[in-house]
Amino acid sequence: MNILLTGGAGFIGSNLAKTFINIPRISKVTVIDNFSTGFRQNLAEIISHPKFTLIEGDITDVEICRRAMQGIDLVSHQAALGSVPRSIHDPIATNNANINGTLNIFTAAKEAGVKRIVYAASSSTYGDSESLPKVEDIIGKPLSPYAVTKYVMELYADVFAKTYNMEFIGLRYFNVFGPHQSPKGAYAAVIPLFMDAVLNHEPPTINGDGSYSRDFTYVQNVVQANLKALFTENTEAVNQVYNTAFGESTTLLQLFNHIKSIAGSDLQPAFGAFRKGDIPHSLANIDKSKKLLAYDPAISVKEGLKIAFDWYTQNRSFYQ
């Protein structure tokens, strides 16, 4: 099978790309990326592999999407402009990449006869819903432009499935972390920021008082969910969205203390203002993904933090 992976030079995308290369039933892995947030060095291990093809291009260009889709059997759609703060700062760019780009990919896949697309949805879709843990069919109103775009992706997937007889599976990611997640840039995620700060012996800043909590999810659990979704033969599992998480809540202060313990550090954090668009708490119910996709997240938050910290320690200059 030939697979097209959008956003394959990004954090999650590059972890998927390296996994796809080593799956015998996948004969060709084509990555499309514009390197706006991805890094070439994320693909360094596989760039010369005979099964690998890189297309440097932007999914907002529908003709590039159409060319990339030729001969493709499956699509893993990871490309997006992430970050709630980025979307608040520049909603037009976020909309263009996440909605227009997604529509281009879905349309090109439809025209090329691609049967199944697995796409990166987001826990931000739950918006202002206060119910915990989060269950797939109970959502609130979006709290950021990013959340709006991710919900629209789900709506387009549902319409395309019904209108064009295609198969879609959306995976609502919850705060994914792990190797190849850059600590650099204005919109870096909290775990690489904390780890980079500890490695540099600098106190990190926690947004708020540290009581906000998240369902932090190690990236290999997310890779597993993608593989289950791409290859499931359970007809009941398709044209659905699933929480993709570990199913455990960790506050930001607990998170920092875990990292401190791993590093043997005595740093104390600074505390800043709460961020616009942030929800206080996020925790996933993963019963649906366990039942229909046979998803079984194997790596806990603490285990994942240890693996990630070892990676950052060994790759201090990776994003310099």
Catalytic residues: 146
- Residue 119 and residue 136 in contact, taking contact as beta carbons nearer than 8 Å: no
In contact, 160 and 110? CB cutoff 8 Å? yes
Round to whole Å and give the CA distance between 37 and 248.
Answer: 28
Phi/psi for 215 (5° steps) reads -95, 80
Q: Taking a C-beta distance cutoff of 8 angstroms, is the pair 47, 54 a contact?
A: yes
Whether omega for the bond prior to residue 133 falls within 30 degrees of 0, making it cis, is: yes
Distance CA 202, CA 32 (A): 36
Q: How many residues does the chain have?
A: 320
Q: What backbone phi and psi angles, to 5 degrees, belong to 47? A: -60, -30
CA angle 62/92/9 to nearest 5° reads 55
| 8 A C-beta contact, residue 154 and residue 125 | yes
Do the Cβ atoms of 84 and 144 come closer than 8 Å?
A: yes
User: Residue 125: in which H helix or E strand, if any?
Assistant: none
Spatial separation of the C-alpha atoms in residues 300 and 288, rounded to whole Å? 19
CA 58 – CA 53 distance, rounded (Å): 15
Give CA separation, 94 vs 4, 84, 309, in Å: 22, 10, 30
Neighbours of 311 (CB within 10 A): 15
**Directed axis angle between helix 11-21 and helix 219-231, to 10°?**
60
- Which amino acid belongs to residue 209? D
